[in-house]
Amino acid sequence: MTHTKTHRFASHVLWAVGVGVMIACSAQTAPVPTPIPTPTQPPPNSSATPTATEITIVETPTLAPLTQQSREKMFDTLWNTVNEHYVYRDFRGVDWAKIRTTYRERVVQETDTAQFYARIKEIIDLLNDDHSRFDDPQESALNDAIYNGEAGYAGIGIMIRELDTGLMVTRIAKDGPADHAGIRPYDVITAIGSTLVTTTYALGDAGYSNLIRGPIGSNLTVTVQRGEEAPQHISLQRNAIAGDAFPEAVARMLDASIVLLTIDSFDRETLADIVKNALNQVVTQSQPTGLIIDIRENGGGSIDAMLNVVALFHDGGTIGDQVDRSHTYPLIVPKNQTLAPFDQLPIVILTSRDTASASEMFTAGMRHLKKVTVVGETTAGNSENLYPYDFDDGSVLWLAELLYRQPNGTYIENVGIIPDITITDGWNDLHPDKDKFITAAQNVLHP
152-207 pLDDT per residue, tens: 667 899 988 888 788 888 889 888 999 999 999 889 999 999 888 875 555 555 56
Residues 201 and 339 in one domain: no
Percentage of the chain beyond pLDDT 70 is 81
Domain's final residue, options 237, 261, 292? 237
How confident is the model over 97-135, as pLDDT tens digits?
Answer: 999 999 999 999 999 999 999 999 999 999 988 889 999
Task: For residues 147 and 79, state if they share a domain.
Answer: yes
Q: What is the mean pLDDT of the chain?
A: 82
| Span 2-19, average pLDDT | 33
More confident residue, 56 or 428: 428
Among 32-41, 52-61, 277-286, 296-305, the range scoring the smallest mean pLDDT is 32-41
Which of 176, 210, 237 corresponds to the end of one domain? 237
Q: Examine the domain organization and report whether 320 and 429 are in the same domain.
A: yes
Q: Is the pLDDT of residue 319 over 90?
A: yes
pLDDT digits (tens, 9 = 90+) for 243-276: 778 888 999 998 889 999 999 999 888 999 999 9
Any bridge partners for residue 232, and if so which? 224
pLDDT digits (tens, 9 = 90+) for 15-48: 233 322 223 332 222 222 222 232 333 333 333 3
Same domain membership, residue 432 and residue 307:
yes
**Looking at the structure, do residues 3 and 77 belong to the same domain, yes or no?**
yes
Range of the domain at 222: 157-237
258 in the same domain as 117: yes
Q: What CA–CA distance (Å, rounded) separates 261 from 319? A: 21
Q: Are residues 232 and 300 in the same domain?
A: no
Please check whether residues 164 and 69 belong to one and the same domain.
Answer: no
- With vertex at residue 273, the alpha carbon angle to CA 29 and CA 184, rounded to the nearest 5 degrees, is 85
> Are 212 and 258 in the same domain?
no
CATH code for the domain of 68: 3.90.226.10
Among 237, 261, 296, the domain-final residue is 237
What are 390-409's pLDDT values in tens digits? Answer: 999 999 999 999 999 999 99
Same domain (yes/no): 274, 362: yes
Q: Would the pLDDT of 13 be above 50?
A: no
How far is residue 258's CA from residue 146's CA, in Å, rounded to a whole number? 31
Give the CATH number, domain containing residue 199.
Answer: 2.30.42.10
> What are the phi and psi torsion angles at 217 (to 5°)?
95, -10
Q: Choose the weakest-confidence range: 52-66, 206-220, 276-290.
A: 52-66
The answer to whether 399 touches 132, Cβ cutoff 8 Å, is yes
Q: Are residues 99 and 59 in the same domain?
A: yes
Cβ atoms of residues 160 and 208 within 8 Å = yes
Q: pLDDT value at position 199? A: 53
Give the span between the Cα atoms of 291 and 183, in whole angstroms. Answer: 30
**pLDDT the model gives residue 15:** 28
Please tell me the total count of domains within the chain. 2
**In a shared domain, residues 19 and 67:** yes
